[in-house]
Structure 1
Amino acid sequence: MKKTRLSTQILIALILGVIFGLLFNGHSQSMTRYLLPIGNVFINLIQMIVIPIVIASLIIGVASIDNIKKLGKIGGKTIIYFEFITMIAIILGLLIATIVQPGASVERSHIQKISIQKYEQTAEQQTHNFPEMIINLFVQVVPKNIVQSIAKGDLLAIIFFSILFGLATAAIGERGKIIVDFFKAVLEAMFWVTDLVMKIAPIGVFSLIAVTISQFGIGSLWPLGKLVISVYVAMFIFLFVVFGLIAHLVKIDPFQFYRLLRPEILLSFTTASSDSVLPRLFVKLEDFGCSRSVISFVLPMGNTLNLAGSTLFQAMTILFIAQMYGINMTPGRQMTLFIVLMITSKGIVGVPGASFVVLIATLSALGIPAEGLAFIVGIDRILDMIRTLVNVVGNSLATIVIAKWERQFDTARWFETIFSTQSQSKYRLY
């Protein structure tokens, strides 16, 4: 009997979760109590293996790069590409929010009494002023205690340490071979664990979706329907127009690209976690034809600095709140917003509730009441699902773009993957 593909299992779990959540819409507390822990166990399992994979793959990848100059070249191209995508995301978000005006018809009296104090405190700690924020970013990149950074899941600090360790491994020559072999074994073991964890992915997806739908239902979305629809339309434009054009430019069929990423797209959407697919992407992008050295560098960096979906959402949300309060966002103020978002979206990473912290910092800088965020906190999970999906797709495409740019992409392997009915990887991808 033919085994059902993971993407099909996740899709079935998604549909069943929606139905189950709607049926038990009035029992969200019970659903949260009994089903949410199951979903959280799945997310915890994924997060458990992300850091070892990032460290091992980065050390192996950097150790295989010939010299520091070549590493700097890849890093420079990666940052340029990330900044370009961020600019497009902000411009598209501002354009659509200005045209659609999702916040213009919202009654402020409907604002939910939800505390955003924890986000405000974090934002205040992170954003005393913008020059200081940029300085703090560079300081925080260098870990004073790598064990502590690993425990906190601070990816930027982990990336910095792993790159230095990889360079040191390459510098000591033959003696570094034992270190590379050790981390190759770690990577293989973690991929085996990933394959095992993926077997319970449909259960985790069902639990998370059922809880989400039971909490919100369909009726609660109507007051914010215009915002939700606007955000989803903007995200789909970004996926199929912006990413589609970029894929064509690097001679990749975007529809084949999305077809091959189908399990990761469904998993990231349903879990609203980019970590849930990161371990699989390390294997899958290598199967697509990207070199391991590019994957190990670009993918972890993108997971912290190339958040196109989050930036697009932030631009639209800020205009939504401004429209809700009747604040006129002139072209000059929108240009200021553009500049501030370019800074805050990169200046606040690796902090709890980073997306909301960015929003509060940006709203405060523009003199827009941050209290308006309380209106959307309740439905943030619905919006988080689509922005996570865009983040994941964007980082996967970024890896292919940089691999192509660096001529470290095996086109023959890409076509082999498209036409093959079975993965060439040792581990199941589909």
Structure 2
Amino acid sequence: MINPTFPTPAQPARRKGFASQLYVQVLVAIMLGAVLGHFWPAYGEALKPLGDGFIKLVKMIIAPVIFLTIVTGISGMKELGSVGRVAGKAFAYFLVFSTLALVVGLIVGNLVQPGAGMNIDPATLDTSGIKDYAAKAHETTLTGFLLGVIPNTLVSAFTDGNILQILLVAILFGISISLVGEPAAPVTRFLERLSVIVFKLVSILMRAAPIGAFGAIAFTIGKYGVGSLVNLGALVATFYLTALLFVVVVLGTVARLTGFSIFKLIRYLKAELLLVLGTSSSEAALPNLIEKMERAGCEKSIVGLVVPTGYSFNLDGTNIYMTLAALFIAQATGVELTLGQELLLLGVAMLSSKGAAGVTGAGFITLAATLSIVPTVPLAGMALILGVDRFMSECRSLTNFIGNAVATIVVARWEGGLDREKLNAALNGRSLSPSDNEAPLPALSAA
């Protein structure tokens, strides 16, 4: 038997210079984009294709990243029962904390009352801007969502880019490989090698992140203007503070009970968080989140199941936004909600947030779906927050992203798939391997 291996260099990896760090480049790009959008708004709006192009590049690679991570993870599991067990624990976590996020938004909305005193007549509002969102909300039902998880063909899951469809195909494919056993070993080895190439492609695409963030933030500031925040500043400030409170207090407590610091996790993910902030899309950092969670000691199969599923079902930031925005509209239009009506709003939001999972602009669409079912709060009131929704989108995405990172570590610990040494090393900025960015190639064996 010949069993050559790919050697890794013995010398320690050289630390990158400050200016060459991705998070530094993205941060500088965000600041430059904001300045350009503010002082030259026409040029800022014209740079929208830069942000859109980068997000399309990342979405191009999301399908193979999820597929390869899940398939290679499941095929390496000792028992297939653990797949259902991990999924069950993940969904239990998602349900509890998604509901908690809705409750937090409801409580803060009642305490702060950011829309009180505006006394706006819904009949005077221009609703032309929300017609498309309302139409999408009516099209998005829970039944349609569940059927939409099943792709038309095995290949269409990848061509359509639907995360949940890719997840379903990957789980079934991984289980099939495990059931076939030894005859499928060559396929497993091929997929392991292919995953090394795909993650190298991810690192290449991430070099364009500063350009994408620059274009996206320049467009946002250029089109909507910072001045648009003044009129609805109370709502925006309340939402940002509530999201911060949720991350620091709620997720921070969960992190402490799990044995790590939420602040160290945020520092570890700083490049990805800045990318989410600049592009207003958590999907832009999904491939990097998968890689970093594995590097932080979470078992590959758990990361592959929890992260993609969490992107559709663990939307803490979106849920806070939904109840807070609904109460803001009710307060601004002079609608007094009883406790029963607020609880109904909460229950409907729990269901509608799942129905719109994975839909572009899900936060605003989900809010429209919720208000269309709860007629007490006027749907026309959404026109009030349309102008600042883009600014709240960044906060929604950031909170969702951090929530999914925490969920991955928690579920990994519950499942006994968390390497404490790797987690501590990653969160403290230390590397246990010669190269922090390269994944070792699996050994080849040939007769």
TM-score by length of 1: 0.93
Aligned amino acid, residue 99 of structure 2: M
Does the alignment pair 1:427 with 2:427?
no
Aligned length: 419
In the other structure, the counterpart of 1:254 is 262
**Change in CA separation of 1:419 and 1:306 when aligned onto 2, cut-off 3 Å:** closer
**Change in CA separation of 1:66 and 1:123 when aligned onto 2, cut-off 3 Å:** same
Does the alignment pair 1:369 with 2:413?
no
**Change in CA separation of 1:247 and 1:190 when aligned onto 2, cut-off 3 Å:** same
Aligned amino acid, residue 166 of structure 2: I
In the other structure, the counterpart of 2:129 is 115
| Alpha-carbon offset, residue 350 of structure 1 | 2.8
CA distance in 1, matches of 2:429, 2:99: 37
Aligned amino acid, residue 86 of structure 2: I
Does the alignment pair 1:66 with 2:66?
no
In the other structure, the counterpart of 1:170 is 178
For residues 367-405 of structure 1, the C-alpha deviation after alignment (integer angstroms, 9 at most, x for no partner) is 122121122222221100011001111111100000011
Unaligned runs of 5+ in 1: 128-132
**Structure 2 residue matching 1:327: 3-state secondary structure:** coil
In the other structure, the counterpart of 2:45 is 32
Aligned amino acid, residue 283 of structure 1: E
Choose the corresponding residue for 2:392, options 383, 386, 389: 383
Choose the corresponding residue for 1:44, options 56, 60, 69: 56
CA distance in 2, matches of 1:419, 1:117: 48
Q: Is the contact between residue 18 and residue 213 of structure 1 (CA under 8 Å) also seen in structure 2?
A: yes
Structure 2 matches for 1:288-367, cutoff 5 A?
288-367=296-375
**Change in CA separation of 1:105 and 1:42 when aligned onto 2, cut-off 3 Å:** same
Q: Is the contact between residue 146 and residue 157 of structure 1 (CA under 8 Å) also seen in structure 2?
A: no
Task: Return 95-104 or 80-89, whichever deviates more.
Answer: 95-104
In the other structure, the counterpart of 1:217 is 225
**Change in CA separation of 1:359 and 1:419 when aligned onto 2, cut-off 3 Å:** closer
Q: Is the contact between residue 61 and residue 297 of structure 1 (CA under 8 Å) also seen in structure 2?
A: no
CA distance in 2, matches of 1:370, 1:288: 44
Choose the corresponding residue for 1:21, options 22, 34, 37: 37
In the other structure, the counterpart of 2:402 is 393
CA distance in 1, matches of 2:171, 2:367: 31
**Structure 2 residue matching 1:142: 3-state secondary structure:** coil
Choose the corresponding residue for 1:188, options 170, 192, 196: 196
CA distance in 2, matches of 1:40, 1:157: 23
For residues 31-50 of structure 1, the C-alpha deviation after alignment (integer angstroms, 9 at most, x for no partner) is 322x1111211111111111
- What is the root-mean-square deviation in Å for CA atoms of aligned residues? 1.9
Task: Return 352-361 or 307-316, whichever deviates more.
Answer: 352-361
Q: Is the contact between residue 51 and residue 215 of structure 2 (CA under 8 Å) also seen in structure 1?
A: yes
CA distance in 2, matches of 1:282, 1:407: 18
Choose the corresponding residue for 2:91, options 57, 79, 97: 79
Does the alignment pair 1:57 with 2:69?
yes
CA distance in 2, matches of 1:112, 1:376: 12
Q: Is the contact between residue 195 and residue 428 of structure 1 (CA under 8 Å) also seen in structure 2?
A: no
TM-score by length of 2: 0.89
In the other structure, the counterpart of 1:279 is 287
Aligned amino acid, residue 343 of structure 1: L
In the other structure, the counterpart of 2:445 is none
Percent identity (aligned) = 34
In the other structure, the counterpart of 1:130 is none
Task: Return 419-428 or 173-182, whichever deviates more.
Answer: 419-428
Aligned amino acid, residue 298 of structure 1: V
Unaligned runs of 5+ in 2: 1-15, 440-447
Aligned amino acid, residue 10 of structure 1: V
Q: Is the contact between residue 45 and residue 218 of structure 2 (CA under 8 Å) also seen in structure 1?
A: no
Does the alignment pair 1:208 with 2:216?
yes
| Alpha-carbon offset, residue 136 of structure 1 | 3.5
In the other structure, the counterpart of 1:410 is 419
Aligned amino acid, residue 298 of structure 2: C
**Structure 2 residue matching 1:407: 3-state secondary structure:** coil
Structure label with greater radius of gyration: 2
Does the alignment pair 1:10 with 2:10?
no
Q: Is the contact between residue 119 and residue 356 of structure 1 (CA under 8 Å) also seen in structure 2?
A: yes
Aligned amino acid, residue 99 of structure 1: L
| Alpha-carbon offset, residue 419 of structure 1 | 4.1
Q: Is the contact between residue 302 and residue 408 of structure 2 (CA under 8 Å) also seen in structure 1?
A: yes
| Alpha-carbon offset, residue 417 of structure 1 | 2.3
For residues 101-127 of structure 1, the C-alpha deviation after alignment (integer angstroms, 9 at most, x for no partner) is 112233536845542222222222224
CA distance in 2, matches of 1:24, 1:91: 41
Q: Is the contact between residue 36 and residue 44 of structure 2 (CA under 8 Å) also seen in structure 1?
A: no
Give the structure with the larger helix fraction.
Answer: 1
For residues 256-312 of structure 1, the C-alpha deviation after alignment (integer angstroms, 9 at most, x for no partner) is 111111111111111111111111111111111111111011111111111111111
